Amino acid sequence: DEIDCGHPGLLAELNQALALGICAFADGMVTAHPQFRLVATANTYGAGGDRRYVGRQALDAATLDRFTLLDVPVDERLEHRLALAHAPSQQDAVVQLLATVRRLRATAEEKNLPVMFSPRASIEGAKLLEAGVPLAKVLQWRVLRGLSQAHRSALGLSP
């Protein structure tokens, strides 16, 4: 998970293990099974930090060359189900929360803004709704927090 947060020394060991099909562990050498596959996730494309992911490591060409890059879009059906599951008594408010998050997500994507509206905002927001926090506060605390005035304006939000 999040290979772009990995320590460069660890990534060098990973590269060696992938190239040789064998890896040293504290209790001995382990040979990869013939059907072994490695799946890694990242928030960047390996070029290092950007405005949204400032703490990410740049991955070297040897590491990047070992992987096929796939973009995985947000699964909004799963996001919907998870948010509703966390707020069974607040279904209408969750639907409103989801609509707001999705509208902001689409606008940010369309305008290529360096802001994020992840499923985590919807799911954690739903938990707050279930705890009795009003929707306006949930939006303020989980969705709109930290947005600059320029980003608020670009997203069509009032000051």
CA 22/CA 31 separation, integer angstroms:
4
* Strand ranges, E, within the chain: 22-25, 28-31
pLDDT value of residue 54: 64
Q: How far, in Å, CA of 28 to CA of 105, rounded? A: 47
What's the pLDDT at 6? 79
pLDDT for the residue numbered 52: 67
Three-state SS for 22?
Answer: strand
Instruction: Return the structure tokens found at 26.
Output: 């504290």
Output the pLDDT for position 101.
97
| Strand partners for 29 | 24
* pTM for the predicted model, two decimal places: 0.75
Q: Is 94 within 8 Å of 83 (Cβ atoms)?
A: yes
User: How many angstroms separate the CA atoms of 80 and 82, rounded?
Assistant: 6
How is the chain split into domains, by residue range?
3-65, 76-154
Q: Give the pLDDT of the chain (159 residues) as one tens digit per residue.
A: 888 887 778 888 888 888 889 988 899 999 999 999 989 888 777 776 666 676 677 888 888 888 888 888 899 999 999 999 999 999 999 999 999 999 999 999 899 888 889 999 999 999 999 999 999 999 999 999 989 999 999 999 977
What whole-number distance in Å separates Cα of residue 136 and Cα of residue 129? 10
State how beta strands 22-25 and 28-31 pair.
antiparallel
The pLDDT value given to residue 59: 81
